[in-house]
Structure 1
Amino acid sequence: MGIYEILAYFFVYGVLGWCVEVAFAAVKEGRFVNRGFLNGPICPIYGVGVVSVIFSLQGFSESLLILYLASAVLVTFIEWLTGYVMDRIFHQKWWDYSGQPLNIGGYVCLPFSLIWGVFCVFIVKCFQPLVAHLIGYIPHIAGIVILVILSIAMLADLYVTASAILKLNKRLEAMEKIAAELREFSDRMGENIYENVKDGMEKEEQLKSKVASMKEVRKELRAEYSAGKEEWYKSQQQKLDELKGRYDSLVNGLGSVGERLVKAFPNMESRIHKDALREVKKRVAMRRNKRK
């Protein structure tokens, strides 16, 4: 099997894998979700997985048991490696099998490994001969041109998607900084209010010994405390509104690619910005529900 066949099978099974993911999401959620990592209709992990099985295990096709076990192990390793590398590069776990039995780091789990084995046996024994036969009908030159165009398109898509993820990470980082600033601001406001109330109570006790009625006490307190406090509270409220506005702008300005990724991977988790990503996912879900 040469480079031409490897690329051809990669794109065929990558697109078919995308179709399976979309169909699965449609049944599960009742709507269309572009479940691919890329924007285009392809899931590269399926293409890599199936091509690896075809290339490495074709010699074991006579023994169904060996083919099944070897396929399950190989595809599971590819899935684990892909999830681990993407987690380390983008600091996000794109899928999570933590709720499944016998999982490894949430990247892979035994039930899905067994299912992948069944699919691979079916592909090697039944489907792949048909795919190879159909690809054989495509003129070689035309096939090369098609593969070059598809490869360029996929690389461009990969660049756009990776850039969007890096921007998303920066946005999440900025959100967490603003959230920390809001918490610090709230603490300062609370402490200031407490000190003002405490000082007011002390001043009230001092004035009680000097004036006869509570009316005069309140008048004295208002005259002393109201002058500068109103302006101070206005300035603090303006700062608070500014921080909230910046936070909302970050949450709501994901862009089409960032929002698609959040929808496509509902179980995505961030290792660094967990709270910020949860807020983004919540806002995306609210916007989706409003459109219904």
Structure 2
Amino acid sequence: MFAYNLWQWIAFFIIYCLIGWIGESLYVSWEHRKWVNRGFLHGPFLPIYGFGAVIILISTIPVRNNYFLIFLFGMLGATLLEYFTGWAMEQIFHVKYWDYTYDFCNLHGYICLGCSLTWGVCALLLTGLVHTPIEKLVLSLPAVPLMVIDIVFAVYFIWDMITSAQEAFDLKKIILENEEVQRLQKRLDVIHAFAEDDKQKFEDHLKEKNMQYNKSKEEITKEFEAKLQAAKDRVANRSEKAKTHATRIIRRNPGSISYKHKEEFEAIRKRIEERMQSKR
């Protein structure tokens, strides 16, 4: 056990990605009472389970005969993976694709005690039960067919990662563009409010915002109105393709949330739900 070559490791990664997707999709579908193709990718694969299984198998090599250490090492390895993956995805896409913020003993919403303990249990089940038949299957495959399967999967996996990342970036752009509209609208409302007041009070307000009072209120108002209209035009002209991308990735991740742009993200989710209901 564990004496595998590269192609066999890739095969294990593929299989556990698929098993993870099946489990997650069934659980989330049951939770939401409708079918959900769970995950970041389009296809039936959840990479975090593939990487998690590989990390568990590798990390437990030195302690393969000690159940407690298998539990401990498997839990720590998979938990670190889950934390780093969740953190990196939120930094890149501004969205949390899973969130444990309201779960007991969580860390920044990326990991929680319950899930970490589950990873430990999975490590025991994986090394003691699940991996044995999968190992026999993979080791029974001839080298050339195994390489072909791995290469085909790798090509598909890279394509799926690229297209799914594009969807996530489109969602991020839509969030930021809508947020810019809201920000400019609020600033314009403030300018209109001060336009009814005296010049000195308006000048003091601009100084507080580190803006020089070298233009009339009318000029500043027109500037912000132009910026607001340009931002609205960008939102309106956002392609249907980008909107479809945003819809797909939110539907695949119904528990996702954006704390950086919470108000706008929830507004986008609501519009997507309303659009889906209108099509029924």
TM-score if structure 2 supplies the norm length? Answer: 0.79
Query: Which of 2, 6, 10 in structure 2 is aligned with 1:3?
Result: 6
- Which of 1 and 2 has greater Rg? 1
Residues 1:139 and 2:142 are matched in the alignment: yes
Equivalent position of 1:157 in the other structure: 160
Q: Is the 8 A contact 2:60 2:69 kept in 1?
A: no
Q: Is the 8 A contact 2:59 2:73 kept in 1?
A: no
Query: Which of 79, 82, 85 in structure 2 is aligned with 1:79?
Result: 82
In the superposition, relative to structure 1, how do residues 89 and 243 fare at CA in structure 2: closer, same or farther (>3 Å)?
closer
Q: Is the 8 A contact 1:34 1:260 kept in 2?
A: no
Matched-pair identity in %: 26
Residues 1:287 and 2:278 are matched in the alignment: no
Equivalent position of 2:252 in the other structure: 264
SS at match of 2:141: coil
Distance apart, 1:153 and its partner CA: 0.8
Report Cα offsets for 1:56-94 as digits up to 9, x if no partner: 203423222221122111111111111111122222222
Q: Which amino acid aligns with 2:253?
A: F
SS at match of 1:136: helix
Distance apart, 1:291 and its partner CA: 4.4
SS at match of 2:140: coil
Distance apart, 1:248 and its partner CA: 6.0
Report Cα offsets for 1:142-181 as digits up to 9, x if no partner: 1101100110111111111112222222222111122233
Equivalent position of 1:13 in the other structure: 16
In the superposition, relative to structure 1, how do residues 188 and 135 fare at CA in structure 2: closer, same or farther (>3 Å)?
same
Q: Is the 8 A contact 1:178 1:243 kept in 2?
A: yes
Residues 1:68 and 2:56 are matched in the alignment: no
Residues 1:89 and 2:92 are matched in the alignment: yes
Residues 1:125 and 2:128 are matched in the alignment: yes
Q: Which amino acid aligns with 1:85?
A: A
Is 279-288 or 74-83 further displaced after alignment?
A: 279-288
Q: Which amino acid aligns with 1:113?
A: S
Residues 1:274 and 2:277 are matched in the alignment: no
Cα separation, 1, equivalents of 2:241 and 2:145: 42
Equivalent position of 2:34 in the other structure: 31
Q: Which amino acid aligns with 1:36?
A: G
In the alignment, structure 2 segments of 5+ residues that lack a partner are 198-226
Cα separation, 2, equivalents of 1:275 and 1:249: 22
Cα separation, 1, equivalents of 2:168 and 2:61: 37
Report Cα offsets for 1:106-150 as digits up to 9, x if no partner: 000001111121122111101111001111232210110110011
Q: Which amino acid aligns with 2:105?
A: L
Q: Is the 8 A contact 1:252 1:283 kept in 2?
A: no
Q: Which amino acid aligns with 1:152?
A: V
TM-score if structure 1 supplies the norm length? Answer: 0.76
Residues 1:103 and 2:91 are matched in the alignment: no
For the aligned residue pairs, the C-alpha RMSD in angstroms reads 2.7
**Within-5 A mapping of 1:104-253:** 104-184=107-187, 247=235, 250=238
Cα separation, 1, equivalents of 2:228 and 2:261: 22
Matched length: 249
Cα separation, 2, equivalents of 1:47 and 1:174: 35
Q: Which amino acid aligns with 2:112?
A: C
Distance apart, 1:246 and its partner CA: 6.2
Cα separation, 2, equivalents of 1:72 and 1:281: 33
Cα separation, 1, equivalents of 2:233 and 2:166: 25
Cα separation, 2, equivalents of 1:253 and 1:246: 14
Q: Is the 8 A contact 2:98 2:110 kept in 1?
A: yes
Q: Is the 8 A contact 2:59 2:74 kept in 1?
A: no
